[in-house]
Structure 1
């Protein structure tokens, strides 16, 4: 039987943390205080987290920190790209760990969250007890070209045509930079038009089968503005990663238990990326899910993610009992 989400739960603590540079991030903690510590890293960049993400963890066994990364969700200033890089976010995660008062925690990241989780774990391997990674993304030129130039365009020509329609033909050879220029200049109203199309393209291609709820979220003006501005800001800067950096430095993760979950038909993040990570890191546990796309909510992906968080919590409980 496929595992599904735990029942809805309210956070036991909410707050904001001034991380400097004019940014204040929103965070919350859910589950049981003092239980197995974990941090959830949302996708995007710029996606924000949702209350449903709390339900990926057994609330009796976990104490989970969830937060909106700089510029998105309930963090402020909204849609800001100033002082907003991968390494700012890595530092923010460390600030939250210190705030939570834990030495180590499980790091759960999906999509862009997997990129950030790998970057954080490679920077602070002694602070990571386990990794649960879904929809592996490494911000390589090949991945960006696949999604925004040629690849997904062949699978979703109708949706890709809408994405390109707002850009003059002469600029379509570099769609990412064309959108980035327009999303960082002009009026907010003009930016929202572009942002909605950028966000809509992702919302309609992340699941194997159409999901109207997912598409509607991506069509919201405020969500789309942060999502599109931050994604293009990060991607034109290669997420502040050297080419192949996350694969190159995988040796820093030796000894950290890891579960990788990836949909066979993931459009934004082709499965070859997860395969390459696993080949470079064979002690990781890889699950390629048949009949699934990119979204964590797809049944096979969700089943494997919940099984992973359950297993790591039970291992932690057993270690405590024996210690």
Structure 2
């Protein structure tokens, strides 16, 4: 590689003398060196979505999509306690948080290198004071391919549930064929996961079956999971989630017997509607899931009825 000549160096903009050099000037009035500024205490509180957040406040982590890495995906949706509020040299505020279920959260100063996570104010959701660790968190996940006829059953059920008034702590999500997204979602701090899917079990079309998975202890003993980015069935999803780490303490699968079973082969036509018996079962399944939510979330949590 050719070394830069004097004309190259002359074209660069000097940033000033290095700290400690003979020509470095001391900080002027009102100025401070970098390390002095970094040692300053941050503000006592910041306001997030109109809610004051300070040390001890509980928040839900929502990392920005543009910066999210693997760790951010695993922490997305987790609840945490704000330990301190820091301000960087550019004036931006960062919340140092401790994740609720982090086994190293009680190590005191020893946990600082690896058990404190920093989020901007825009990357957290303030939680109500009564939204503590005792609040039941529930994930309702709709699975299926809407272009394969009755395989879109789970998607239709969560579509109906999305129009209901659900208790705090209940998340209803259409995962479609995004199996890996569901795997990551199961790593969050949910107490109960309700998976809704179509599954041929030899029953009359439209028959609903409720199954409860043996989790989390047996999830790792189900065998190694084959990773597929699309089309993972609930069993494979639970296997992979168990291999990665955390699985909700209770997992229920609500499945419906399809009338039409398409595989997506080249010789099959796209079918974007449910058969009559499966469409009727979607309403029943939505009401069944609401009953499960009410039973798990406790008194006064029953949502209004759906279509």
Shorter-normalised TM range: under 0.3
**TM-score normalised to the size of structure 1?**
0.25
CA radius of gyration, larger in:
2
**TM-score normalised to the size of structure 2?**
0.26
Identify which of structures 1 and 2 has the higher relative contact order when contacts are C-alpha pairs closer than 8 Å and 6+ apart.
1
As a proportion of its length, which structure holds more strand? Answer: 2
